[in-house]
């Protein structure tokens, strides 16, 4: 009954839900650290922190532009919107001002230095919503409230002195700078224009970029024309070769044949020669060459050949070397069909066209080379031109700007730059620290942060399984279901009134549990999952065990028995925990005889009890007295035979066993069963114990695991009235015949 057991998961998914669950579970650590940090914050704020004072001063920083008529006013407003207030802010923070302020305060504070002021001094631009205003706020902090005011008053004086000094410098240097710079700019303009004029004369160019564009366009046109001409030349060459192949004549032979074909006399002599050849051929079929008729024909043939040669000389001037004057060649050369004559004319025309195209290709190639050479000199020319031309424009622009500035400054020489005006003078410093509320808020945040860290550290040191989801993550065994945790109010209420054959002074807690509807529904779901996982071969015997004691094995066994009995199945409960039998106590059953007495004696059949919860019939075999050697009894052949007969006579046999860890009882008992179900109590089982238990069950058919003690959902709680019921105990022996299974 072996199976490949799945590996244990060690991964955890730290989602938000799991994080909050950890914090809730470790709330004592979280709250303890939080309280400690907040307490330390209060003590430190009240008794160990020196008070800090702060004085403020506000300055209006704006350009010195007077009101002008509408046109100039609009221009000034545009210029004002572009002023660099960040530069002014950086300037006003410079150490030059703080050093000067420290010197002014030497009589009152001889140890005060500029760097001390700079350390406690801050200057920022005030924002109204998302808009930056022209108001700067200066703040100075110190432990002396009067000192904060004195330092800001010194900074106010330094700013005003600097502002006055800058106005005077602008007045002295404004026009002089422009008047000194204007001649220099004019001289540079003359030099730049002279250099540009000389360049144009040397290069014989007005605008090299435009001329380069014209050359480029011409070059592109030539390249395009050259490409088209070469393509046309290739096409004509192909046509010329095709005509030669069709004529089977060289160009010279074709021309000769064409000229001879045009002569009517030559054609007449050629026709006579052809007739003579035919006549001679006919005569030779009858006579020999010695016959007078044949001789006459031969003489006529020679005479016609002589006349043809004379005609050739007359037409061509001489007999070409490539022309044979035999009768056969003359007949072949001198007579051309109309098609051949047309081909000869096309060949001549094509040859002439080839010569024309070749000359054009050569001419275009030379033109391309000339244009490319001309274009290659333009980059350096354009570079020099682009260097000289902007210089002229810059100098012209500079002169125009200087002239405009001189005109403006002549009217506003006394105004310009920025004006720093104090709109709110410094006051006596007000205490800003320590702030108990602020420190408490920071201490609370820090306390929560440190408490969270401690809580997570404590959680990392604890490998206890805290929820069914965590149990499901730690093993790949199917989670058969969750047994809900009974609410405390429900546990303290009597749910069931039972009457036994033997009087019972107290109610059985386990029987009260199974009458709780959420519990029954959870057990029905678990049993249904077991049936689905073991389909189509349902288990006949099922062992329920756990890694540790108090995991709820007996509760699960009784609940599964009740679920199976409600499905009209014959169910037998066996208390196989011979080391510590407890099922009889939970069910208020006698235990003088049970499984141990049957296995250790010659009793022919075990002593069975019957209970009837909810009107259902369930047989129970208690554990009996504790034996000396439980392993020997559980591993006996008699136990094996007993399980076989039980499986034959019952639809489901459920065994409640001892814990897995520490004993071998479970392994011995499970070897007789069809399947094993583990049950583990939440907040009790640890990862290491779970690992050990699963490792021991590695070779057994473990169907799945059940989580016991999960928090009961409020949404699924239902109010039920108390129910009355009873159960029966069958004290007589079972009707099953055990006589064949009494031998060990």
Please tell me which residue, 141 or 2, carries the higher pLDDT value. Answer: 141
Q: With respect to residue 140, please indicate whether it lies within any of the assigned structural domains.
A: no
686 DSSP assignment: B
Query: pLDDT tens digits for 237-291?
Result: 887 778 767 766 666 566 666 666 666 677 677 777 778 878 888 878 887 778 8
Which pair of structure tokens corresponds to residue 63?
């350009």
Q: How far is CA 10 from its chain centroid? A: 26
Pick the residue with more confidence: 116 or 297?
Answer: 116
**Average per-residue pLDDT for the chain:** 77
Same domain, 438 and 506: no
Max intra-chain CA distance, the chain: 169
Residue at 44 is within a domain: yes
Q: How far apart are CA 93 and CA 84, in angstroms?
A: 15
159 assigned to some structural domain? no
Query: Contact at 8 Å (CB) between 678 and 477?
Result: yes
Contact 420, 163 (CB under 8 A): yes
Per mean pLDDT, which range of 151-165, 200-214, 607-621, 695-709 is the poorest?
200-214
User: Do 452 and 525 sit in the same domain of this protein?
Assistant: no
Domain end point (choices 443, 460, 477):
460
Shared domain check, 566 and 710? yes
In a domain, 320, yes or no: no
Tell me which of 399, 425, 460 is where a domain ends.
460
Q: Phi-psi region for residue 573, left (φ > 0), alpha (ψ -120 to 50) or beta?
A: beta
CATH number, domain of 680, equals 3.40.50.300
Tell me how far the alpha carbon of residue 156 is from its chain's centroid: 56
Q: How confident is the model at residue 608 (pLDDT cuts 50, 70, 90)?
A: very high
Domain count, the chain: 2
Distance CA 163, CA 558 (A): 96
- Provide, rounded to the nearest whole percent, the portion of the chain with pLDDT above 90: 20
Asked if residue 678 has a cis previous peptide bond (ω within 30° of 0), the answer is no
Supply the pLDDT for residue 385.
62
Residue numbers of the domain that contains 447: 16-49+434-460
Residues 474, 610 share a domain: yes
112-121, 355-364, 500-509, 617-626 — which is least confidently predicted?
A: 500-509
What mean pLDDT comes out for the span 41-53?
A: 77
Q: Which of the listed residues 393, 426, 460 is the one where a domain comes to its end?
A: 460
User: Does residue 241 form part of some domain?
Assistant: no
523 and 655 in a single domain? The answer is: yes
Task: Please tell me whether residues 456 and 549 are part of one structural domain.
Answer: no
Residues 722 and 667 in one domain: yes
- Asked whether residue 594 is assigned to any structural domain, the reply reads yes
User: Does residue 202 lie in a domain region?
Assistant: no
pLDDT digits (tens, 9 = 90+) for 331-340: 555 555 567 6
Whether residues 503 and 628 share a domain: the answer is yes
Question: What residues have CB less than 8 Å from 280, skipping those under 6 apart?
Answer: 294, 297, 298, 301
pLDDT in tens, 704-719: 999 998 764 444 433 3
End-to-end Cα separation, the chain, in angstroms: 23
CA 88 to chain centre: 45
Q: Are residues 445 and 514 in the same domain?
A: no
Average pLDDT score over residue span 308-331: 61
- Residue 539 in 3-state DSSP? coil
Note whether 514 and 646 are same-domain residues: yes
Reported as a single tens digit per residue, the pLDDT across 454-469 is 877 876 667 777 778 8
Mean pLDDT score, 649-666:
93
Hey, which residues does 418 pair with through a beta bridge? 63
Are residues 452 and 548 both part of a single domain?
Answer: no
Task: Report the range of poorest mean pLDDT among 153-157, 162-166, 330-334, 408-412.
Answer: 330-334
Most confident of 97-106, 299-308, 380-389, 439-448: 97-106
User: What is the per-residue burial (b if ≥16 Cβ within 10 Å, else e) of 240-267?
Assistant: beebbeebebebebbbbbbebbebeebe
CB atoms within 10 A of CB 403: 13
Confidence of residue 66 (pLDDT cuts 50, 70, 90): low
The tokens describing 343, both together, are 């081909």
CA distance 50 to 139: 19
Whether residue 488 is found in the same domain as residue 629: yes
Which tokens in the block code for residue 84?
């660099």
What's the whole-number mean pLDDT along residues 35-53? Answer: 80
Query: pLDDT, tens digit, for every residue of 610-656?
Result: 998 888 999 999 999 999 999 999 999 999 999 999 999 999 999 99
In a domain, 33, yes or no: yes
């Amino acid at each position: 009954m072996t199976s490949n057991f799945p590996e244990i998961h060690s991964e955890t998914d730290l989602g938000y839900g799991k994080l909050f669950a950890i914090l809730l579970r470790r709330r004592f650590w979280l709250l303890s650290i939080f309280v400690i940090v907040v307490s330390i914050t209060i003590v430190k704020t009240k008794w160990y922190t020196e008070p800090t004072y702060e004085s403020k001063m506000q300055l209006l920083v704006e350009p010195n532009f007077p009101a002008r008529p509408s046109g100039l006013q609009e221009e000034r407003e545009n210029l004002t919107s572009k002023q660099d207030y960040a530069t002014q802010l950086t300037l006003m923070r410079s150490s030059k001002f703080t050093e000067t302020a420290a010197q002014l305060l030497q009589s009152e504070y001889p140890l005060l230095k500029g760097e001390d002021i700079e350390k406690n001094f801050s200057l920022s631009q005030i924002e109204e919503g998302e808009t930056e205003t022209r108001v700067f706020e200066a703040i100075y902090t110190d432990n002396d409230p009067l000192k904060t005011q004195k330092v800001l008053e010194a900074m106010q004086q330094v700013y005003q002195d600097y502002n006055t000094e800058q106005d005077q410098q602008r007045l002295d240097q404004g026009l002089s700078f422009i008047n000194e710079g204007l001649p220099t700019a004019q001289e540079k303009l003359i030099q730049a224009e002279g250099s540009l004029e000389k360049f144009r004369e040397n290069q014989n160019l007005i605008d090299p970029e435009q001329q380069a564009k014209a050359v480029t366009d011409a070059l592109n046109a030539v390249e395009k024309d050259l490409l088209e001409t070469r393509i046309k030349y290739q096409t004509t060459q192909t046509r010329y070769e095709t005509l030669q192949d069709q004529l089977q004549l060289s160009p010279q032979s074709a021309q000769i044949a064409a000229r001879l074909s045009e002569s009517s006399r030559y054609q007449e002599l050629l026709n006579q020669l052809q007739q003579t050849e035919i006549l001679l051929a006919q005569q030779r079929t009858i006579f020999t060459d010695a016959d007078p008729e044949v001789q006459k024909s031969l003489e006529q043939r020679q005479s016609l050949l002589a006349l043809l040669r004379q005609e050739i000389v007359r037409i061509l001037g001489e007999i070409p070397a490539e022309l044979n004057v035999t009768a056969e060649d003359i007949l072949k050369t001198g007579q051309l069909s109309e098609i051949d004559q047309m081909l000869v004319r096309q060949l001549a025309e094509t040859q002439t066209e080839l010569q024309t195209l070749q000359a054009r290709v050569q001419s275009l190639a030379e033109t391309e080379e000339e244009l490319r050479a001309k274009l290659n000199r333009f980059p350096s020319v354009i570079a020099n031109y682009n260097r000289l031309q902007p210089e002229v424009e810059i100098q012209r622009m500079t002169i125009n700007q200087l002239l405009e500035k001189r005109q403006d400054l002549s009217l506003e020489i006394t105004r310009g730059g920025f004006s720093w005006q104090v709109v709110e003078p410094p006051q006596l410093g007000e205490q800003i620290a320590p702030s108990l509320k602020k420190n408490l808020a920071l201490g609370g945040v820090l306390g929560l942060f440190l408490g969270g860290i401690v809580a997570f550290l404590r959680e990392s040191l604890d490998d206890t399984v805290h929820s069914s989801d965590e149990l499901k993550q730690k093993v790949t065994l199917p989670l058969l279901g969750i047994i809900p945790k009974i609410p405390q109010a429900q546990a303290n209420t009597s749910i069931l009134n039972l009457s036994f054959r033997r009087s019972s002074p107290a109610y059985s807690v386990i029987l009260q549990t199974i009458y709780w509807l959420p519990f029954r529904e959870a057990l029905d779901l678990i049993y249904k999952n077991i049936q689905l996982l073991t389909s189509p071969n349902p288990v006949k015997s099922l062992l329920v065990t756990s890694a540790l004691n108090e995991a709820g094995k007996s509760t699960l066994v009784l609940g599964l028995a009740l679920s199976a009995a409600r499905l009209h199945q014959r169910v037998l409960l066996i208390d196989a925990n011979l080391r510590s039998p407890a099922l009889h106590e939970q069910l208020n059953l006698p235990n003088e005889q049970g499984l141990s007495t049957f296995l250790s004696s010659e009793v022919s059949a075990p002593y069975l009890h019957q209970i009837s919860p909810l009107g259902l019939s369930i047989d129970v075999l208690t554990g009996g007295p504790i034996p000396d050697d439980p392993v020997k009894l559980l591993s006996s052949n008699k136990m094996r035979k007993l399980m076989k007969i039980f499986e034959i006579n019952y639809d489901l046999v459920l065994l409640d066993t001892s814990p897995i860890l520490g004993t071998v009882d479970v392994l011995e008992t499970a070897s007789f069963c069809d399947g094993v179900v583990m049950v583990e109590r939440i907040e009790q089982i640890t990862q290491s114990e779970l690992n050990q238990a699963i490792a021991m069950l590695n070779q057994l058919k473990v169907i799945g695991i059940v989580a016991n003690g999960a928090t009961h959902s409020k949404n699924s709680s239902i109010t039920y009235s108390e129910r009355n019921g009873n159960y029966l105990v069958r004290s007589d022996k079972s009707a099953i015949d055990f006589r064949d299974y009494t031998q060990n």
